[in-house]
Structure 1
Amino acid sequence: LSPGAKMGCFTFIKVMMILFNLAIFLSGGTLLGVGIWVKVDGESFLKIFGTLSSSILQVVNVAYLLIAIGAILLVIGFLGCYGAQKESKCLLMMFFSVVLIIFIAEVAAAVVALVFTGLAETLLTGLVTPLLKEKYGADEAFTQIWNVTMTEVHCCGLNNYTDFNNSYFYDTHHGYPRQCCDMQEPCNSTVAAEMAVQGCFKQILEEIRTNAGVAGGVAAGIAALEIAAMAVSMYLYCRLDEK
């Protein structure tokens, strides 16, 4: 290619880099703003957009998630947009590094999720089941979170109703949570065994497997964008040496 064509290609890619990262920056700002809004005034948010959850604590968790994602997108968008605009090798390399770290973390998380599902179930059982026995029915916030989860996901405990054996709730109410009996009361061992409501861990896994195609497509799309962003930033970085 002639020097003019190379310069035109460089300019085009630079402009695309700026616009792409400007969109990311604005998206991050929007998510950050919504997250702060939900955190500060969750009730008005629910009134406008409907009841997302009956648990205020879950709304707070959503707020933290939005704030975290928004902040990350803001940083990425700023580094990419400003770095390309100012043709700063330092900012472009920082952009490349941040996206690479996120990409590696996503790949690692996917591998762990696929390979160590059984191990995760074992670890969760060892950690969560004792908490269920101790806190469910005794701790209001903990109980509320589990009630919402079991109702929305249509599950019971982590593995099944036996997670509540010898628990505070069972000793106090002489039965199991009604979600373990498909919302029937009283919920005793006979009814719970007949209903055979699945544990939340298996239920969530089934939901994930059911939507694996969509989730995989979204993940592949995000990965492709990240790879493209890294390639473009490295192209601009290398071309700056030739200018």
Structure 2
Amino acid sequence: MESCGMSFIKYLLFIFNLFFALSGLGIIIAGALVLADVSDFSHFVTSDLVGPPIVLIVLGTIIFLVASLGCYGAIRENYKMLIAFAVLLIIIFIVEFAVGITAAVYKADFQDTLKSSLKKSLEQYSSSGSNSNIEKAAWDNVQQKVKCCGVDGKDDWQTTPISCCYKDKIEESDQPVQFCVSSGRNYMYKDGCYQKLQMKIESNTKILIGVGIGIAFIQVVGMFLAFWLAYTIKKEEEAK
């Protein structure tokens, strides 16, 4: 017959793992939202930016599976499963910590790379090469969705593209660029795309950091409960 203390720890760990499994689903959703947001300007960046939300989705899936293992181990009072669960939590925690440090170290380098990529793409936009149509589609898409113009502003363009105009003004006139600047007011986006994309990245980074800190705290609690229950099970087995 199990003691009241072990019964309490077992069900406490079981309830914890239910919440842990739900947090895994939450991480998957957060990663998917960030990935969808990043897709608006993925043409201008390398996999370095697309990587973190994908890692988050994979991590959320792993957390969901690990939480299921923890639930089963707690209910079955299986010492080996509980130890395996705790060790997996430690490994996930170390991976999260390493990813966080890497992101912090390369943040400044990434911003420089983004600006360089935008400038290079803008030059190709006006060229007659085979990639010009791809660059035009990418710039038109990002300028309309993010509501920006050029890298640092509209002056970056030799010939300002239609996509720099407010969307409703494009729909109103057959000559939207001229209409945007000749009607007594300037209906052209004033912010550069680098500034707007940088703000998006900062916002997404805060989401990832917030989720990471929350999950790290939950993991520490889970490790403690798993080792506590495993120790209690081992102690009671030795007492028999």
TM-score range, shorter chain: 0.5 to 0.7
Match of residue 46 from structure 1? none
2:219 is aligned with 1:226: yes
Cα distance in 2 for partners of 1:93, 1:176 equals 61
Aligned partner of residue 4 in structure 2, secondary structure: helix
2:7 is aligned with what amino acid? T
2:235 is aligned with what amino acid? E
Aligned partner of residue 177 in structure 2, secondary structure: coil
Match of residue 175 from structure 1? 160
Cα distance in 2 for partners of 1:177, 1:101 equals 51
State, as a whole percentage, how many aligned pairs show the same letter: 25
Shift in Å at residue 82 of structure 1?
A: 0.8
1:127 to 1:106, Cα distance in 2 relative to 1, 3 A = farther
Match of residue 6 from structure 2? 10
Match of residue 105 from structure 1? 95
Cα distance in 1 for partners of 2:116, 2:198 equals 15
Q: 2:232 aligns with which of 233, 236, 239?
A: 239
8 Å CA contact 1:80–1:92 kept in 2: the answer is yes
Task: Give the TM-score normalised by the residue count of structure 2.
Answer: 0.57
- 1:69-148 alignment, distance < 5 Å: 71-126=61-116, 130=120, 138-139=133-134, 143=137
Match of residue 22 from structure 1? 18
Task: Give the TM-score normalised by the residue count of structure 1.
Answer: 0.57
2:134 is aligned with what amino acid? D
1:195 is aligned with what amino acid? K
Cα distance in 1 for partners of 2:58, 2:70 equals 18
Match of residue 183 from structure 2? none
Aligned partner of residue 219 in structure 2, secondary structure: helix
Shift in Å at residue 85 of structure 1?
A: 1.5
Shift in Å at residue 22 of structure 1?
A: 3.0
Q: 1:186 aligns with which of 167, 177, 186?
A: 177
Cα distance in 2 for partners of 1:242, 1:66 equals 37
Cα distance in 1 for partners of 2:56, 2:204 equals 21
Aligned partner of residue 195 in structure 1, secondary structure: coil
Larger Rg: 2
Aligned partner of residue 175 in structure 1, secondary structure: coil
Cα distance in 2 for partners of 1:233, 1:193 equals 58
8 Å CA contact 2:17–2:71 kept in 1: the answer is yes
8 Å CA contact 1:153–1:204 kept in 2: the answer is no
CA deviations on 1:156-205 (whole Å, 9 max, x unpaired) are 56x5358976xxxx8xxx434634x56574289xx899924351432225
2:186 is aligned with 1:195: no
1:20 to 1:151, Cα distance in 2 relative to 1, 3 A = farther
CA deviations on 1:14-35 (whole Å, 9 max, x unpaired) are 1011122234446757998x9x
Shift in Å at residue 229 of structure 1?
A: 0.8
